[in-house]
């Protein structure tokens, strides 16, 4: 729709101006007394210029940050228009068809230039507007249009009224010309450009105003073509002359403050860049080097360096190291801040306050530098404080004495706060990356540990077996396994290494290796436990042990033999009731061979149809609810008895679900292993 409007706004002047030209030529050669046609002509000209205004306003972008460039473009346009107008004045007394031929292009050029001037002035006036700014400009526009309308030759308006409106319009031109807030935000170079451009625009529009006001050919051609348009061009020339004349004076007075503005702008840019740096720079060394470079930009320093406090258990001997520097050597730094007792560095560590040295060669803290005048001038040191603890010191020097003022102290202090945040964030990110790396390694260890557990259960027609093992952490110390011994005989082992986590997982892997190597060599569970204890006594730490139960199942004779090394009792459920089978035995790795062998006994159980044996670790019975009560043996037995008519897998699920319901959470406080054996009969 907007494209269609632009096309229409172009078609209107394309149709109107040729029509007006032919009408004026006819009127110049034929005496026409058609007032209504003249009114239509005047109205059509106004509509045509409104269409041009709409088209230019839609195509012209708002003033960007490069305001001097936009003002320079306006000067080029204004100067070109002035040149064209000056050439027209060279035509001696244009009349008749020549006058009509010259008036059309002249009016179009001057009208378009006036519209561009008005739009540029509007953008400059409304830049960083305040309350009432837009109102004053709207009043100016209303006065400008009203003055143009009342100056038409078709209306018999009193000359005093038109002059009064003209004067009031100029008054509001002056009022709006005081709106020069855009000048404050220019750099020194931009202000120099603006001084040149505004001066040229002032003189250009003064000359143009003279051309359209005096008795020149330009004035006659425009006023004869359209009185409202003549007034519009005249007022816009005055507006441009007054506004850009004021801009020239204002820019001239603001020129001394350009350096201050550029400095503040540089400070804000550096602070903004550092704020972005906090979230973008993850490499610690890159961050430190960037900080010292930005310090130079923030306060205009010649050298800068950053020191970080190294953690130490002794508060009396705090280590401070230079981690990044710019335009200064490590030797110069040490001579400057470490040449006295107490040194400037030690004072900063103790006081945690900003230190300002106005003259390095005369200050008592650095007077030793008189012997070596390579470094002179002034120095500013700012502490980096995080949670009331000193983590570092940021230093900056200038070659001139008294080079740092209060603004430098405030800015560098603010900058130091951002640096502190950036350093702390970088350390946190490094720790997070390290934790993620360790987590990934633990995930790999978890997958490897799960592969150490049996991937399937023994398949015998007379036995139904189900098993599960869940760690409270990524890896754990619980272990279960199955081994085929001879035809019709297999072994079951369930163990629990003391402790949790990685160390328990390593011992669990060792137990698996011992079990697999001894299971084929030992003829009884007791013999396997005795030999396993002899092996583990030399490898386990003093505070570590392994509880374990080993069962040999004979499917041909419907029996099983088990031995226990300090492990949880076996829950044995038969048609006659249940029993907690507790053959004596000590944990592996707790005592020497003879005592362990004497205390370890075997137990043989005859299996009947429907008998159930439950092997588990203490993660099942010692699970606690929110009150701190343990799940216990009674609940385990009760749940198993209630589900004894189900298959082994469903018995396992029933026990696990009951434990989860009891604890009220799916996260366990200890590793949990559960093996269910149900005898189906021969």
Q: Calculate mean pLDDT across residues 168-182.
A: 89
For 470, list phi and psi in degrees, rounded to 5. -130, 130
Which structural domain range is residue 308 located in? 281-430
Give me the mean pLDDT over the 269-280 stretch.
Answer: 62
Is the confidence at residue 413, as pLDDT, over 60?
yes
**Paired tokens of 331:** 């030797």
Mean pLDDT score, 164-189: 87
**What is the domain count for the chain?**
4
Q: HEC string of 446-465? A: HHHHHHHCCCCCCCECCEEE
Question: What is the mean predicted confidence (pLDDT) over 338-359?
Answer: 83
- CATH code of residue 554: 3.60.40.10
Residues 184 and 129 in one domain: yes
- Both 156 and 179 in one domain: the answer is yes
Task: pLDDT band for 103, please (50, 70, 90 cuts).
Answer: confident
pLDDT at 63 over 80: no
Question: Do residues 619 and 547 lie in contact, with contact meaning Cβ atoms separated by under 8 Å?
Answer: no
Domain end position, chosen among 9, 35, 59: 59
| Domain assignment present for 544 | yes
Which of the two residues, 31 and 294, has the higher pLDDT score? 294
Percentage of residues in the chain with pLDDT exceeding 90? 25
Which one has a higher pLDDT value, 447 or 612? 612
Of 421, 357, 410, nearest in space to 384 by CA: 421
> 61 versus 105: which is more confidently predicted?
105
Asked, for residue 551, whether it belongs to a domain, the answer is: yes
Q: b/e for 24-43, b at 16 or more Cβ within 10 A?
A: beeeeeeeeeeeeeeeebbe
Percentage of the chain modeled with pLDDT above 70? 85
| Position 633 in a domain | yes
Residue 649's pLDDT band (cuts 50, 70, 90): very high
CATH code, domain carrying 372? 3.30.450.40
Does residue 660 share a domain with residue 589? yes
**Does the pLDDT at position 580 exceed 90?**
yes
Give the pLDDT score at 294. 83
Given 253, 271, 306, the domain boundary residue is 253
pLDDT value of residue 289: 86
Quick one: pLDDT band at residue 637, thresholds 50, 70, 90? very high
521 and 407 in one domain?
A: no
Task: Determine, yes or no, domain membership for 258.
Answer: no
Model pLDDT, residue 154: 55
| DSSP three-state, residue 673 | strand
Tell me, yes or no, whether 426 and 507 share the same domain: no
Position with higher pLDDT, 128 vs 122: 122
Residue 95 burial (CB count, 10 A): 10
Dihedral sign of CA atoms 397, 401, 402, 407 in order = negative
Judged against a pLDDT cut of 80, whether residue 589 lies above it is answered with yes
- Is pLDDT of 603 > 90? yes
Higher pLDDT, 161 or 242: 242
For residue 562, the 8-state DSSP code is: E
Q: How confident is the model at residue 253 (pLDDT cuts 50, 70, 90)?
A: confident
Which residue has better confidence, 201 or 478? 201
CA–CA distance, 436 with 429 (Å, rounded to integer)? 10
Residues 232 and 123 in one domain: yes
* pLDDT exceeds 70 at position 232: yes
**CA-CA-CA-CA torsion for 281, 286, 287, 289, nearest 10 degrees?**
-150
Q: How far apart are CA 265 and CA 203, in angstroms?
A: 33
At 75 the pLDDT is: 92
Among 415, 430, 445, identify where a domain stops. Answer: 430
> What's the rounded Cα separation, in Å, for the pair 503 and 497?
9
Beta carbons within 10 angstroms of residue 235's beta carbon: 25
The whole-number pLDDT of residue 55 equals 83
pLDDT of residue 564 exceeding 90, the answer is: yes
Q: Mean pLDDT score of the chain, rounded to an integer?
A: 83
Range with the poorest average pLDDT among 186-190, 520-524, 663-667:
663-667
Higher pLDDT, residue 122 or 263: 122
- Shared domain for 311 and 371, answered yes or no, is yes
Clarify whether residues 138 and 242 are in a common domain.
yes
Flag whether 266 is in a domain. no
- Strands 355-357 and 672-679 turn out to be unpaired
pLDDT of 479 strictly over 80: yes
Q: Is the pLDDT of residue 169 over 70?
A: yes
Q: How confident is the model at residue 62 (pLDDT cuts 50, 70, 90)?
A: low
Domain assignment present for residue 445? The answer is: no
Cβ-based neighbours of 244, under 8 Å, separated by 6 or more: 71, 198, 201, 202, 205
Query: Span 474-484, mean pLDDT?
Result: 81
Asked if 365 and 357 touch (Cβ cutoff 8 Å), the reply is: yes
Of the CA atoms within 13 Å of residue 493, those in its CB half-sphere come to 31
Residue 259 belongs to some domain of the structure:
no
Same domain, 73 and 189: yes
- SS3 assignment for 194-229: HHHHHHHHHHHHHHHHHHCCCCCHHHHHHHHHCHHH
Q: Do 297 and 418 reside in the same domain of the chain?
A: yes
Contact predicate 224/216, CB 8 Å: no
Residue 263 within any structural domain of the chain? no
Q: Residues 477-481: what's their mean pLDDT?
A: 84
What CA–CA distances, in Å, run from 179 to 193, 203, 242? Answer: 19, 20, 12
Residue pair 337/396 in contact by the 8 Å Cβ criterion: no
Q: pLDDT at position 633, please?
A: 92
Helix %, strand %, coil % of the chain (to 5): 55, 15, 25
Identify whether residues 87 and 55 lie together within a single domain.
no
Q: Which residue has the tokens 């036995």?
A: 463
Q: What is the pLDDT of residue 477?
A: 73
In this predicted structure, the answer to whether residue 641 has a pLDDT above a threshold of 90 is yes
Contact predicate 522/528, CB 8 Å: yes
> Is 110:235 a contact under the CB 8 Å cutoff?
no
Between residues 271 and 357, the one the model is more confident about: 357
- Reported as a pLDDT band with limits 50, 70 and 90, residue 312 is low
When mean pLDDT is compared across 96-110, 159-173, 234-248, 409-423, the lowest value belongs to 96-110
Helix (H, G, I), strand (E, B) or coil at 400: coil
Report d(CA 593, CA 121) in Å as an integer: 102
pLDDT-based confidence at 567, cuts 50/70/90?
very high
DSSP letters spanning 6-40: HHHHHHHHHHHHHHHHHHHHHHHHS----HHHHHH
Confidence of residue 1 (pLDDT cuts 50, 70, 90): very low
Determine the pLDDT at residue 550: 94
Both 307 and 215 in one domain: the answer is: no
Which DSSP symbol is given to 555? T
Q: What's the pLDDT band for 451 if we cut at 50, 70, 90?
A: confident
């Amino acid at each position: 729709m907007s494209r269609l409007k632009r096309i229409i706004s172009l078609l209107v002047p394309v149709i109107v101006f040729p029509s007006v030209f032919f009408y004026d030529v006819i009127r110049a050669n034929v005496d026409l007394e058609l007032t209504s046609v003249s009114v239509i002509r005047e109205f059509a000209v106004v509509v045509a210029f409104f269409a041009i205004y709409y088209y230019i306003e839609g195509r012209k972008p708002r003033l960007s940050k490069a305001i001097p460039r936009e003002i320079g473009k306006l000067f080029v346009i204004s100067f070109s228009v002035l040149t064209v107008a000056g050439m027209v004045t060279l035509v001696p007394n244009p009349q008749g068809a020549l006058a009509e031929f010259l008036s059309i292009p002249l009016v179009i050029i001057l009208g378009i230039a006036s519209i561009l001037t008005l739009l540029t002035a509007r953008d400059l006036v409304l830049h960083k507007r305040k309350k009432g700014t837009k109102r004053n400009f709207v009043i100016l526009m209303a006065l400008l249009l009203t003055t143009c309308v009342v100056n038409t030759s078709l209306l018999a308006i009193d000359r005093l009224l038109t002059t009064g409106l003209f004067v009031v319009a100029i008054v509001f031109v002056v009022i709006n010309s005081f709106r020069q807030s855009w000048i404050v935000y220019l750099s020194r170079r931009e202000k120099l450009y603006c001084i040149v451009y505004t001066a040229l625009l002032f003189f250009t529009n003064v000359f143009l105003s003279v051309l359209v006001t005096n008795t020149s050919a330009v004035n006659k051609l425009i006023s004869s073509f359209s009185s409202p348009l003549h007034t519009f061009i005249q007022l816009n020339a005055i507006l441009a002359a007054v506004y850009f004349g004021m801009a020239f004076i204002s820019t001239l007075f603001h020129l001394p403050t350009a350096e201050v503005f550029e400095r503040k702008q540089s400070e804000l840019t550096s602070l903004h860049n550092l704020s972005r740096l906090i979230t973008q720079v993850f490499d610690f060394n890159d961050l430190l080097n960037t900080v010292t470079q930005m310090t130079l930009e923030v306060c205009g320093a010649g050298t800068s360096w950053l020191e970080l406090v190294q953690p130490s258990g002794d508060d009396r001997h705090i280590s401070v190291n230079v981690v990044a520097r710019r335009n200064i050597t490590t030797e110069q730094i040490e001579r400057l801040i470490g040449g006295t007792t107490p040194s400037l560095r030690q004072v900063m560590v103790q006081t945690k306050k900003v230190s300002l040295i106005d003259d390095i060669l005369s200050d008592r803290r650095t007077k030793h530098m008189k012997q070596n005048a390579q470094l002179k001038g002034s120095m500013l040191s700012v502490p980096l404080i995080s949670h009331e603890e000193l983590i570092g010191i940021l230093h900056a020097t200038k070659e001139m004495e008294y080079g740092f003022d209060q603004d430098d102290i405030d800015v560098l202090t603010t900058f130091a706060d951002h640096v502190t945040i950036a350093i702390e964030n970088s350390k946190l990110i490094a720790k997070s990356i390290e934790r993620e790396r360790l987590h990934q390694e633990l995930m790999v260890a978890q997958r490897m540990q799960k592969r150490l557990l049996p991937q399937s259960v023994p398949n015998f027609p007379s036995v139904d077996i189900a098993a599960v093992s869940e760690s409270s952490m990524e890896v754990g110390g619980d272990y279960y396994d199955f081994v085929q011994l001879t035809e019709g005989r297999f072994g079951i082992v369930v163990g629990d290494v003391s402790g949790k986590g990685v160390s328990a997982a390593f011992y669990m892997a060792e137990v698996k290796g011992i079990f697999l190597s001894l299971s084929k060599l030992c003829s009884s569970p007791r013999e396997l436990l005795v030999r396993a204890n002899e092996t583990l006594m030399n490898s386990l730490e003093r505070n570590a042990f392994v509880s374990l139960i080993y069962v040999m199942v004979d499917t041909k004779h419907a029996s099983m033999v088990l031995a226990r090394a300090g492990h949880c009792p076996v829950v044995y459920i038969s048609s006659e009731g249940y029993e907690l089978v507790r053959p004596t035995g000590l944990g592996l790795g707790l005592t020497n061979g003879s005592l362990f062998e004497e205390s370890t006994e075997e137990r043989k159980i005859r299996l009947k149809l429907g008998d159930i044996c439950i092997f588990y670790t203490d993660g099942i019975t010692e699970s606690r609810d929110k009150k701190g009560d343990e799940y216990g043996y009674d609940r385990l037995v009760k749940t198993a008895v209630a589900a004894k008519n189900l298959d082994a897998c469903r018995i396992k699920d029933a026990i696990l679900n009951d434990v989860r319901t009891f604890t009220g959470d799916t996260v366990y406080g200890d590793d949990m292993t559960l093996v269910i054996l149900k005898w189906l009969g021969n």
